[in-house]
């Protein structure tokens, strides 16, 4: 794995050992960021199930302002830290926060922060986590107007989402589906 584009293009990324993490392939990550395009520039990024940190680090390489990466696995946290130091170099201290917490406690700890771009890629067995995480972010008023939510899931599983979420595009890559969503202004009450 490597950073696909931006100021850190070509820098290597590592994945946590074992089968608990499914890093998004370079090919899919490149396709996703081509779709997202200029929405990355100057964005505040939240990656709630970080794994290797590749999604947030790709966003930072492409001009995101800052990122928070969350993973409850100690091994994943160590790999994210290693990858972030390699990708960000001297900007490490200023552009990224890495939290070794469950997504629920991380959202509570991040209260008061606002995000423009959110990546959700929980373990596939946690289909309820997509909707739960978004509901918690909405309740905490943590999503900026026009916030883009990118959800990677198994293509044959639909994740239940709050009414306020409007999926406006879905792409399929083999067994993987990626939903692109925004919060509907009309139904932002949940």
Give CA–CA dist 50/41, Å, rounded: 20
pTM listed for this prediction = 0.93
Structure-model confidence comparison of residues 137 and 18, the more confident one: 137
Task: Tell me what pLDDT residue 26 has.
Answer: 82
Task: Tell me what pLDDT residue 16 has.
Answer: 83
pLDDT of 50 over the 90 cut: yes
Give CA–CA dist 98/80, Å, rounded: 7
> Per residue in 72-93, pLDDT tens?
999 999 999 999 999 999 888 8
- Residue 129 CB neighbours (<10 A): 19
pLDDT of 188 over the 50 cut: no
pLDDT of 22 over the 70 cut: no
Domains (range + CATH), the chain: 26-183 (3.40.50.150)
Q: Please name the residues in contact with 31: beta carbons below 8 A apart, sequence gap of 6 or more.
A: 171, 173
- Residue 15 CB neighbours (<10 A): 17
Task: Tell me what pLDDT residue 20 has.
Answer: 61
Structure-model confidence comparison of residues 81 and 125, the more confident one: 81
- Residue 124 CB neighbours (<10 A): 15
Q: Please name the residues in contact with 38: beta carbons below 8 A apart, sequence gap of 6 or more.
A: none
Task: Tell me what pLDDT residue 83 has.
Answer: 96
From residue 60, how far is each of 49, 107, 173 by CA, in Å?
17, 20, 24
pLDDT > 90 in the chain, percent:
77
Structure tokens at 70: 């969350």
């Amino acid at each position: 794995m490597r950073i696909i584009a931006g100021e850190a293009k070509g820098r290597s990324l590592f994945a946590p050992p074992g089968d608990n993490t499914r890093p998004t392939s370079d090919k899919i990550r490149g396709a996703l960021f081509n779709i997202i395009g200029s929405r990355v520039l100057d964005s505040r990024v939240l990656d709630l199930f970080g794994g290797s940190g590749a999604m947030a680090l790709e966003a930072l390489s492409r001009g995101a302002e800052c990122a928070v990466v969350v993973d409850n696995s100690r091994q994943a946290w160590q790999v994210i830290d290693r990858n972030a130091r390699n990708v960000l170099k001297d900007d490490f201290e200023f552009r990224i926060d890495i939290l070794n917490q469950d997504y629920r406690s991380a959202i509570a700890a991040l209260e008061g922060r606002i995000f423009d771009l959110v990546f959700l890629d929980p373990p596939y067995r946690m289909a309820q986590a997509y909707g739960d995480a978004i509901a918690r972010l909405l309740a905490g008023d943590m999503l900026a107007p026009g916030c883009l939510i990118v959800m990677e899931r198994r293509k044959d599983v639909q994740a239940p989402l709050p009414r306020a979420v409007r999926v406006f595009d879905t792409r399929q890559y083999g067994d993987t589906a990626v939903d692109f969503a925004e919060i509907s202004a009309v139904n932002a009450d949940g």
